[in-house]
Amino acid sequence: MKTLGLMTCCAALLAGCSFTTASGLTECESSADCDTNQVCSASGFCLPQPEGCGEVVGTTTGRPILLGAALPLTNSGGPDESEVQALNAIKLALEEINQREGIGGRFFNLLICDTRSDPARAKTQAEWLVTEKGVPAIFTSGSAQTIAVSSVAIANNVLLMTHTSTSADIANLSDKTAASGDVGLVWRTAPSDLLQGRIIADLVRNARPLADSSRPFATVSTVSLVYVDDAYGQGLFDTILTRLGTDRVPSSAPYQRNGDVSAAVTRIVDGKPDVAVMAGFSEDNAKIISQAVTRGRTGQMYFFTDASKDSGLFTALGAARTQIEGAYGTSPAQARLGDTVYNTFKERFRSANNNTDPGQFSFTAHAYDAMYLVALGAAYAAGADVNNPQPITGDRIAVGLSKLTPPAGTPATTYPLGFSRFTDARNEVSTGKVINVQGASGALDFDASGEAPSEYELFRVEGGAFKTVELIVPPQT
């Protein structure tokens, strides 16, 4: 144990005791030497851990590979069920990977922080995860929070992996460093909202029929865009508005997340749009709809974006849930008819989570894939020689991720993301070979900016649940 001048020792200098310096800081060798809600920092002092951090999952045997997660597990209304289920998908993947000896015999641990949907809090937590815990990779969720964390991650050569952040701004982050070279440090399994926005605009302006030839928006003449005023909502607002033009006499109402939604309510109540596109999160959308009903606006047609595909929406609406029966929405596709990779994930997830259907939430499959991708990137970083492993750093994980999509015309073995072929994929990537992956969320053919295009699911609210209507390939322009 370290010693300094001007310190006092625990009684009898028992093993595991700690020392207090003149500055009031307690020295430590591990977090077991510290008080509750403190952790042993890399510099050897007990420091408070950020509020919301502390949960750790994984296997502590040997020298675990510690990863970080800064996720909005709660919001102003309480637990965010969609985010909780996405974390459950990450945990499922981590457990499956650890059951197969992790990477080079080292198991993964995941240190989890709840951001409470606050970008500033997420950034503070990320700084702690990077500087005090030394994680090489962080999982994030939510576009505004991912952008806030990105400056911390990139500056410290830490990989950032997000399963929900769909803002087009993320593709434009300056995430290449001297260490990472031509490969960026920010990756996502969720596609850009440039694609989702085009689909929504084409649907509500009746520019395309559904697969069954029906046109549910044929009589729409006025569209109101009700959106959360952050990177996520602003991006969707801009894409949809630009594509609508003046075809459907658009109007709009921004609001702050978990803040005052009265302007949005007034836009719906007084404007009486034929359809209100709700580009926001379930807790805020529930408040807007409930307040609109209280003010006498019933029978409104709603269209939801991916952030509201969350069973918590029905819970938050209570008796007003009948007002969204028949509403449509879009989300990056997960369930595909006959897709064995998704079906395997779905059954594993249900078995591990009280028969919960992951298809009732956005991004559960994307979260599961995210953990497997980081593990394969770490396998490349460590290399094939278990007796002489290379450092598992953010830039090396990123280069490993670039090995998971073969260049056009290049033959490569395709591996499903999941337990069935993980060891084969891990062993091949560790030698530096390029492979192809098929995720539970889809093909995951990554481009140079670290994102993969995707089909979208058109869903409809039926009987208090989300029912997939069809899958839509987004227009490229």
Query: What is the predicted pLDDT for the residue at 62?
Result: 83
pLDDT value at 424 more than 50: yes
Q: Which of 9-18, 128-137, 248-257, 422-431 has the lowest mean pLDDT?
A: 9-18
Tell me the C-alpha to C-alpha distance, in Å, between residue 249 and each of 35, 106, 204, 301, 382. Answer: 60, 58, 12, 16, 56
pLDDT value at 25 more than 90: no
Query: What is the predicted pLDDT for the residue at 136?
Result: 98
Query: What is the predicted pLDDT for the residue at 334?
Result: 87
Q: Which of 25-29, 79-83, 162-166, 344-348 has the lowest mean pLDDT?
A: 25-29
User: Per-residue pLDDT averaged across 132-149, rounded?
Assistant: 96
Confidence of residue 16 (pLDDT cuts 50, 70, 90): very low
Query: What is the predicted pLDDT for the residue at 112?
Result: 97
CA atoms within 13 A on the CB side of 219: 3
Query: What is the predicted pLDDT for the residue at 17?
Result: 43
Q: Which of 7-11, 214-218, 313-317, 319-323 has the lowest mean pLDDT?
A: 7-11
Q: What is the pTM of this model?
A: 0.90
Query: What is the predicted pLDDT for the residue at 149?
Result: 98
Q: Which structure tokens are listed for 92?
A: 């499922």
CA gap 472, 454 in Å, rounded: 9
pLDDT value at 107 more than 60: yes
pLDDT value at 325 more than 50: yes
User: Per-residue pLDDT averaged across 400-423, rounded?
Assistant: 95
CA gap 101, 352 in Å, rounded: 20
Instruction: Tell me the average pLDDT of the chain.
Output: 91
Query: What is the predicted pLDDT for the residue at 229?
Result: 97
pLDDT above 90 coverage of the chain, percent:
82
Query: 407: helix, coil or strand?
Result: coil
Tell me the C-alpha to C-alpha distance, in Å, between residue 197 and each of 233, 306, 456. Answer: 10, 11, 11
Q: Which residue has the tokens 């408040």?
A: 287
User: Per-residue pLDDT averaged across 117-138, rounded?
Assistant: 96
Q: Are 132 and 159 in contact (CB under 8 A)?
A: no
pLDDT value at 14 more than 60: no
Q: Which tens digits make up the pLDDT trace of 351-394?
A: 999 999 999 999 999 999 999 999 999 999 999 999 999 999 99
Query: What is the predicted pLDDT for the residue at 13?
Result: 34
431 dihedral zone (left: phi>0; alpha: psi -120 to 50; beta): alpha
Q: Which tens digits make up the pLDDT trace of 37-85?
A: 676 766 788 877 899 999 999 987 889 999 999 999 998 888 999 999 9
Q: Which structure tokens are listed for 447?
A: 């481009």
CA gap 357, 218 in Å, rounded: 32
Write the burial class of residue 338 (CB in 10 Å: 0-12 exposed, 13-18 middle, 19+ buried). Answer: exposed
Query: What is the predicted pLDDT for the residue at 31?
Result: 67
Q: Which tens digits make up the pLDDT trace of 266-287?
A: 999 999 999 999 999 999 999 9
Q: Which structure tokens are listed for 422?
A: 């993980």
User: Per-residue pLDDT averaged across 93-107, rounded?
Assistant: 96
Nearest to 397 by CA among 62, 67, 64: 67
pLDDT value at 335 more than 80: no
